[in-house]
Amino acid sequence: MSSTSEQRPRPGGETVRTLTAGGRTLRVSERRGDGSRPPLVLMNGIGASLEVLQPFVDAVDPRRTVVRFDVPGVGGSPPPVVPYVLATLTPVVSAVLRRLGHDGQVDVLGLSWGGGLAQHFAVQHRRRCRRLVLAATGTGSLMVPASPRVLSHMLTPRRHRDPEYASRIAGTIYGGSVRTDPARAARALHAETRLGPRRGYYYQLAASTGWSSLPFLSLIRQPTLVLSGDDDPIIPTVNARILTRGIPRARLHLYPGGHLALVTEAEQLAPVVDAFLDEPAEG
């Protein structure tokens, strides 16, 4: 079953709509490029609506089609009737792409929690995924964890709902440039963002509980770019090195910055991603 809600244009040639496909309903944004490159699908971090990624979308080559979405229960996507896991969400993403007319290969970028979903998509839909970018992410439950102090802040959606609280803890959990400008994190998380019900955050948290890509990293055959900040309290850099060693065709780009750099330093990182995606196919 599939359906489409009213389309709503956004500045920059983007269209936001609600699509039902694969038994789930997602709020989806699409910025149409010129068709010269495969679409880029963005998979977001936990609790964040698609608006959070706007600085990165704005900085990516405008010739590239960009698709992003709110996971069930987050942002403008209604909460799921039953919980989901990564293995049941990736077919939904694939079905949404088909609804948008993207039947061929796509490039996939996963940020933080979305990096787990992106890894799963690359294996579960390996013929559809051409290239993979993993930003500020790790291998799931089997990874070098953040400190208990950082993890305690990740257990609730409060930082997405309370700008003052987000500013207060930003340096501790996000690192990088927000250590000296904590309000920058609040702006990144709250600028035009949409909040779903609290249970949407907990559904998303539960979806990856117990999940790990470590046993199947060798099955990720796509050319892969691993982006990691040298000051990321949530995902220590060693996890990026584990990904790079485990994925056969992966390379590591270590940048000076923290967990939110793909958003707060989008103008520096978007060209790195564009250059990787535009490389000629390997012979």
Residues catalogued as catalytic: 112
Cα-trace Rg, the chain: 17
Residue 283 tokens read as: 């012979």
Separation CA 55–CA 272 (nearest Å): 15
* Pairing status of strand 24-31 against strand 66-69: antiparallel
CB 90 within 8 A of CB 117: yes
If you write DSSP's letter for every residue of 34-103 in order, what string do you get? Answer: -SSS--EEEE--TT--GGGGHHHHHHS-TTS-EEEEPPTTSTTSPPPSS---HHHHHHHHHHHHHHTT--
Cβ atoms < 10 Å from Cβ of 198 = 16
Separation CA 212–CA 227 (nearest Å): 19
**Sole residue written with tokens 């535009």:** 278
CB 274 within 8 A of CB 229: no
Measure the CA angle with vertex 188, ends 259 and 15; round to 5°: 110
Q: Name all contacts of 146-153 with Cβ < 8 Å and 24+ positions apart.
A: 146/173, 146/233, 146/234, 146/235, 146/236, 147/233, 150/233, 150/234
Phi, psi of 67 (to 5 degrees): -120, 135
Measure the CA angle with vertex 134, ends 132 and 139; round to 5°: 115
